[in-house]
Structure 1
Amino acid sequence: MASYEARRLENIKRNESLVKGLGLRNGLRVESKDQSPQPAVVRHPSSKRPKLSTSQPTRISARIANATNKPNYSEDAGGDPSYTGRQSRRNASTSQQHKKEKLPLSPNLDLQPHKDIEALKAGWSSWVAVAELPTRDDEGNYHFESHPIFTPNKSPEAMIREGSFGGSYWRPLYSRRLRTTISDDWQELPTSWKDGISVERYLASPTYNPEVNKYGVACGQSIEEWEAAGWIDHRYDVRGWFQWYCRFWLGRRCEDDERQISRWRKCVGATGRWRRALLKKYVQNGVRTVTDEDDEVDEKKEVSPVVHQTCHHWAWEVRQEALDRFWSEGT
């Protein structure tokens, strides 16, 4: 045991001498005063790798740039004049676009609520026709002697019978500007326009039904939204564009005519944005013939039904002569 204890003590001394030579104390390295401390090394766990920072591309392909988003047309931006009963979901960019394209209001428009609502309502229906019904040319365009530049090719009656505004244009309408509900004004329409159709389905449906529309799709904004934006002149037509068109067709003339016709021209006139957009789609799709709905294949259904329905709401549809000219001249 004496020899074993002697060897053990000798080993302890040798190890202490070795530790001292390495500069360690209790297993830890002792830094000298003239030696600056080394920064600690932080190791990331293998499961969490640092993210690479990437920049967004600065160029957009032509295909993406030219892609057509689902339209949500403002009335004065040249889009669909109406549909009622659907809530609009506009993103920020669309809202900014509306603000940019918004036309100035009629200079004579009184934005304050009318005190005498009954007198105002009486004015809507007490007008007297001062102009004759329009004539029609060989291409199907209508001509109004008082306004030669206004040449729609759909009559109000045809628009109603073929299906427009989701069947809800003449539904009971609460005007926040006038603080009253307008209803039953569809009754002023000529009896011949309503014969044989369901008023509840085609005129005064409480909800918007896209299946009623000629092209089976929904588009546009509600009358409430146009009113909030200041696009309705309440002195004449509390429901906006189509109500104006019905009364203009029947011979009424008023101070709002120029504004409404100007809007029509920007939409579907000779150089109107939606007219040209639709004709361009025919060319892009290689479609040269406008077929009738009674035909076995209706090519109109294959070329942007939403833009077709929008143009239909503005009393215009593609006719063969217009399509032929666009194919040959691009106008």
Structure 2
Amino acid sequence: MPDTDTQTVLSSLQQKIRSETALDTPNSERCIDILNSIESTILPEEKGKRKKPMVSLIATLESSGLGKTLAKSLKAFRRHKRTDANFEPVFEKCNSLLEKLKEEAKKESKASAAAKTKNIQADGLSDNGVVSFPPTVAVYRARLVKYKKELYKDPPVLPPRVDVYEERKPVPKRAKNGELIFEDQKDFRPNLTPEEVLRAGAFGGTYFRSIVSGVTNIHYKAEDAIKETLPDQWIAGMNKRQLLTSQSYSNAVNKFGVKCGGSLGMWESSGWISEIDPYGWFQWYCRFYDGRRSDDDLRQISRWAKSAGPKGRFRSQLCNKCIAANTNARDKSISPVIRQTLHHWGFELTPELLEWHRKNRKK
């Protein structure tokens, strides 16, 4: 932003030059003096060399409208020089000043672009485990492209900034209908624990594979991700390489034998991934279930509600399809892709919940 003093001086000088050019017989000497004052204000010189302006030239030109004022003045001076030779140097001075401003603005624009490129190129992969949050959309996009991530949204949405609370909560209790009851989030009621999701078969066996996070700029190793997210008892006896850390997606691993879900790049470019859970929603769920709390919880619970909550779109779609087909809640032939999707959200349709939907869907 241009500073206030520069703006005030330029505003006064512009008013003077406009007043002169509005006269039938403007004073050529005063016009030269005003133009010199404008130049020394916006393009100061020091010891015969042009000094870099203290403020952004482009911002100053945009906010002050100086370029338009000088362009109009140039037309007036061209008209006056036809009948008064004294306006020849005035015209030349004004024209020269306009050209200088254009040239300096062009240099500033190139320098700014070069600085942005340098910052983006310097945004290398963290080798010390320190989170490097993308400061701008441009840096974030360059990072996602560099790591060959899917740009589901382009430009991407910057990830949320979140903090973890020190206070922890007990694991949830299970209601008679199978839903999990969290004492501090009564409306969040999945009915599958993270362990149940993984043991039944999920994410094509790839969820905890090694990744490079576009959000944190850190390379996460599969074994570290598992160690930092999953209690040992949850995965005891499981084939980790096949069910958790595979680099290739396997439909056969999934409970319903079908592929579903988007890529990590899709989630990252959509602004859905936070720095504390770089693997995504299910990693958040694992940690939330195990007692961690953060200021990202409400956002993540809202995402669950929109997908698998009582009025969630995937849950509602599955219920409506079952009702339309006049079949039971566990009929796997009805929308296996939606069932697998809901499975990843920690939800399985039960007869009780289907009946609840049947009674409440029109309310």
Q: TM-score, with normalisation over the residues of structure 1? A: 0.59
How many Å apart are 1:290 and its aligned residue?
A: 3.3
Normalized per residue, which structure has more helix?
2
Distance change (3 Å), C-alpha of 1:187 and 1:134: same
Match of 2:220 in 1: 182
Match of 2:211 in 1: 173
SS at match of 1:302: coil
Rg larger in 1 or in 2? Answer: 1
Q: Which amino acid aligns with 1:224?
A: G
How many Å apart are 1:318 and its aligned residue?
A: 0.4
User: Does 1:153 find its partner at 2:191?
Assistant: yes
Q: Which runs of 4+ in 1 moved over 2 A?
A: 176-180, 325-331
Match of 1:245 in 2: 285
How many Å apart are 1:129 and its aligned residue?
A: 6.2
Between 135-144 and 180-189, the greater mean CA deviation after superposition: 180-189
**Counterpart-to-counterpart distance in 2, 1:327 and 1:164:** 28
Q: 1:140 aligns with which of 178, 185, 188?
A: 178
**Counterpart-to-counterpart distance in 2, 1:330 and 1:161:** 32
User: Does 1:210 find its partner at 2:251?
Assistant: yes
Q: 1:109 aligns with which of 148, 153, 161?
A: 161
Distance change (3 Å), C-alpha of 1:181 and 1:216: same
How many Å apart are 1:327 and its aligned residue?
A: 3.2
**Counterpart-to-counterpart distance in 1, 2:193 and 2:215:** 30
5+ residue gaps, structure 2, are 1-148
Counterpart contact for 1:129–1:250, Cα < 8 Å: no
Match of 1:43 in 2: none
User: Does 1:273 find its partner at 2:313?
Assistant: yes
Counterpart contact for 2:212–2:219, Cα < 8 Å: yes
Match of 1:52 in 2: none
**Counterpart-to-counterpart distance in 2, 1:162 and 1:178:** 30
**Counterpart-to-counterpart distance in 2, 1:128 and 1:154:** 26
Counterpart contact for 2:193–2:346, Cα < 8 Å: yes
Counterpart contact for 2:322–2:329, Cα < 8 Å: no
Write the mapping of 1:58-69 to structure 2, written as runs, cut at 5 A: none
Equivalenced residues, count: 210
Higher relative contact order (CA 8 A, sep 6+): 1
Query: After superposition, what is the alpha-carbon deviation per residue over 1:287-321, rounded to whole angstroms, capped at 9, x for unaligned?
Result: 1x334xxxxxxx2x210000000111111110111
Counterpart contact for 1:143–1:150, Cα < 8 Å: yes
How many Å apart are 1:170 and its aligned residue?
A: 0.3
Query: After superposition, what is the alpha-carbon deviation per residue over 1:116-147, rounded to whole angstroms, capped at 9, x for unaligned?
Result: xxxxxxx99xx866100101111000010111
Counterpart contact for 1:219–1:310, Cα < 8 Å: yes
Instruction: Quote the RMSD (CA, aligned, Å).
Output: 2.6
Match of 2:239 in 1: 198
How many Å apart are 1:176 and its aligned residue?
A: 3.0
Counterpart contact for 2:172–2:180, Cα < 8 Å: yes
Q: 1:310 aligns with which of 341, 345, 354?
A: 341
Write the mapping of 1:289-304 to structure 2, written as runs, cut at 5 A: 289-291=328-330, 299=331, 301-304=332-335
**Counterpart-to-counterpart distance in 2, 1:317 and 1:261:** 17
**Counterpart-to-counterpart distance in 1, 2:186 and 2:283:** 20
Counterpart contact for 2:201–2:255, Cα < 8 Å: yes
Q: Which amino acid aligns with 2:180?
A: Y
